[in-house]
Structure 1
Amino acid sequence: MSKQFAVIRQQYTGFRSNWSFSTAMWLSKGLLLLVIILSACVEKIDFPLNKGESKLIVSGQISNLNEDKYVFLSETTSADRKPLLSGQYYVMNDLPRPVSGWVILVNEFGDKWDYQMEEPGKYRLDSTVVIEEGIYYHLEITVSGAKYTSEPEKMPEVVGEDELGYTFDRGVFKNNPETSFISINTKVTLPEQNKGYYLRWDVDEAYYWDLTFFPNPFNQPPPDCYVFGFPDPERITLLNGDLIGDSVSSSLQVVAERVIDESFLSRHYFNVRQVSISKSAYEYWRKVRELVNNSGSVFDSPPAPIYGNISNLDDEEEVVLGYFEVARVAQTRIYTTRADVPFFEPEVCTYSPTRPYDDYPKTCLRCSEFPSSSGETPHWWFDQ
């Protein structure tokens, strides 16, 4: 018997450290395996895992960027899981659930920094903690008396440079014909170092959403609404420097594709993080990508389990899921406006005096209807 297993890539962008996002963002149809990038949103990749005893899931990343650093703890659902209270009802489901514990970052000299629990399963290390060059770091985790650790890693020495662009197309998109979509691409200036570097790209998005402006005596406009998410959550873009010829200095990569919808009626950002990772982290993501690409379906059974770098100090046989990365990151942004989009997209929230109130989508009435949103303008919104 099996259940759906979801690999979640944790995104750590600057803006995400400033908002509290709902834990519903990282509860998906199956197991959450939270892994990396910028601060509190997630994207998922699903594939099955044999159902049985609960398994701990650990994910997170520290990097050279001056931002809050996060670790996420959760566990898979076991057959004897107690019902979960949802509103006024108890329900049974196969969703992974947050885990409470203690998380500590340790360097090779024994210096330690405690993560603070912001909510069950979500742990934050303040941006004032500087990750130093050439020093190994690892996690120490305690959950229900059991002690876990990650393999020590140090920050890679190099990372490339992205020059972002985009193209609009209309055609077959994810088996849907006559679909309008955007492709985000990068011309990568590769590190000068020959071989020995491993890159991954993570992409998140943020856009302004126009709530419906209903006439009122004070002519008060609706509040600002910024929505955050992931344009192409199942894409895993990797580059192995060992496979690049010595004379090659650049590379072209498509890092995300997304269908065009009403979110492009206003400014729509794509935040691209080029992540330089260790060889073992690269191999972890390569195996995940192979599993997704070769199975033909993300719900097919995996040929073998994919192990991360977390282990139980007292039980070598325990399987712990997830990966904790020590990375070097280069972040770049690009945005589109309504004028850039060559396709017509109808406005869904436009006010009409003859339109009944309950005919407006809920997202036209309240920003909070989006799983991840905020009324505060990201500090970088007008930098470009």
Structure 2
Amino acid sequence: MNKHITTFCLALIFLMFASCIDQITFPLDKGTEKLIVSGQINNLDEDKFVFLSETTSANREPLYSGQYLVLNDLPRPVRGAQVVVIGSDNSQSRFNEIGPGKYMLGREVKFKSGVEYHLEIIIQGKRYLSIPEKMPDIVGEDELSYEFVRGNFKGAPETAFISIQTEVSLPETIEPYYLRWDVDEAYYWNLTFFPNPFNKAPPDCYVFDFPDPERIALFNGQASGFSTNQNRQIVAQRVVDESFLSRHYFNVRQVSISRESFDYWQKVKVLVNNTGSVFDTPPAPIRGNLYNDKDPEEVVLGYFEVAKVSQKRIYTTRADVPFFLPEICTYERNRPLDKYPKTCLRCSEFPNSTNDTPHWWFDQ
């Protein structure tokens, strides 16, 4: 299988899955590097992000890892870009680079209905623009539930997994609308409590991830043909493991998007079904809504969305899980330190983790 792993998703981009699905290989032209853009602005009171990276070209220079030079197909973050969102009301809001290829706009910036917004990116003198979009006026509501199941999970029999479902209240309108569901997860991880003279517990550890990156849940309100405003969707499934020993959240975002964005994600969905994950660089170039204003023939991958979002959360605790869960981080007196998984010793071993409690953690 030929996979080109990249930061290619809205919201936080952290790849943790690898798929075993058979692929249809589409050759990706590696003669030139291609810019990958992923980002969204919306109506929520939250920080907004844009992620920039580049695919690997055939003549790319080796990357210094800190110890040695490496050559690989992994896209590399684009640093030092100027990223600005511009409104038809003459507003301008600049994203600040907070990490390699990760640009953030603070939650204090608000976006208005009826205003067209587009993204401007300047990289080494090249100027990239997104096609302007307005924020949709409507979005539905989700009523979340979960079910623990033991059965066939992506070809693996007798597997314990959880299924996150929503009973969707669809918008009551005769106007066309288009929906997508994004799901991320956050859970508390128990680090090993080693005995010490001060009886000091290890720091809190919160881990963030995407539970089901292969799934792209879409709904076309214009073509649905539903006579009621209710619809049931499975929005995520994932294996039950040690992360369910403590509180485990699933954050579900129902995203109302433009027809153009819906068509884009439909194309990505077709390719994901053949290649394995939404985080893989498309094996055939899919044009999004971004372009080089001096070279419209340049292929730019990804999409910048202007969306209206409804967000709900649901969580499980250990008492909810009907399966046995091994406690791999429990202290054992005669167990050597090197026999503990590294994730039992340091929260930072997880690619996306923090010792700070999310502000919403105890809201439910």
- TM-score class, shorter: over 0.9
Aligned to 2:307, the other structure's residue is in SS state strand
Q: Percent identity?
A: 62
The correspondence for 2:336, drawn from 330, 349, 356, is 356
Structure of greater relative contact order (alpha carbons < 8 Å, 6+ residues apart) = 2
**1:36 and 2:15 matched:** no
**What's 2:54 paired with?**
75
Give the deviation of 1:217 after TM superposition.
0.9
**What's 1:8 paired with?**
none
**What's 2:3 paired with?**
4
Q: Structure 2 CA distance, aligned partners of 1:279 and 1:44?
A: 29
Aligned to 1:210, the other structure's residue is in SS state coil
1:281-328 deviations in Å (ceiling 9; x for gaps): 0000011112222x3766999795311000010111100111000000
Aligned AA for 1:183? S
Alpha-carbon spacing, 1:203–1:347, altered in 2? closer, same or farther (3 Å): same
Give the deviation of 1:50 after TM superposition.
2.9
Aligned AA for 2:220? N
1:194–1:246: 8 Å Cα contact kept in structure 2? no
2:14–2:351: 8 Å Cα contact kept in structure 1? no
**1:214 and 2:213 matched:** no
**What's 1:188 paired with?**
168
User: Whose strand fraction is larger, Structure 1's or Structure 2's?
Assistant: 1
Tell me the TM-score normalised to structure 1 length: 0.88
Aligned to 1:50, the other structure's residue is in SS state coil
The equivalences for 1:155-194 within 5 A come to 155-194=135-174
Give the deviation of 1:111 after TM superposition.
2.2
1:82-132 deviations in Å (ceiling 9; x for gaps): 111112211111111111311111111332121112123111112111100
The correspondence for 2:33, drawn from 36, 48, 54, is 54
Q: Structure 2 CA distance, aligned partners of 1:158 and 1:359?
A: 53
**What's 2:42 paired with?**
63
Aligned AA for 1:94? D
1:166–1:184: 8 Å Cα contact kept in structure 2? yes
The correspondence for 1:347, drawn from 327, 339, 342, is 327
Aligned AA for 1:151? I
Give the deviation of 1:262 after TM superposition.
0.6
Could you say what the CA RMSD is over the residues aligned between the two structures, in angstroms? 2.2
What stretches of structure 2 of length at least 5 have no aligned partner?
20-24
Q: Structure 1 CA distance, aligned partners of 2:72 and 2:178?
A: 38
Aligned to 2:8, the other structure's residue is in SS state strand
Q: Structure 2 CA distance, aligned partners of 1:68 and 1:135?
A: 19
Aligned AA for 1:34? F
Alpha-carbon spacing, 1:344–1:359, altered in 2? closer, same or farther (3 Å): same
The equivalences for 1:93-172 within 5 A come to 93-100=72-79, 101-172=81-152
Q: Structure 2 CA distance, aligned partners of 1:45 and 1:313?
A: 36
Aligned AA for 1:55? K
The correspondence for 1:372, drawn from 333, 342, 352, is 352
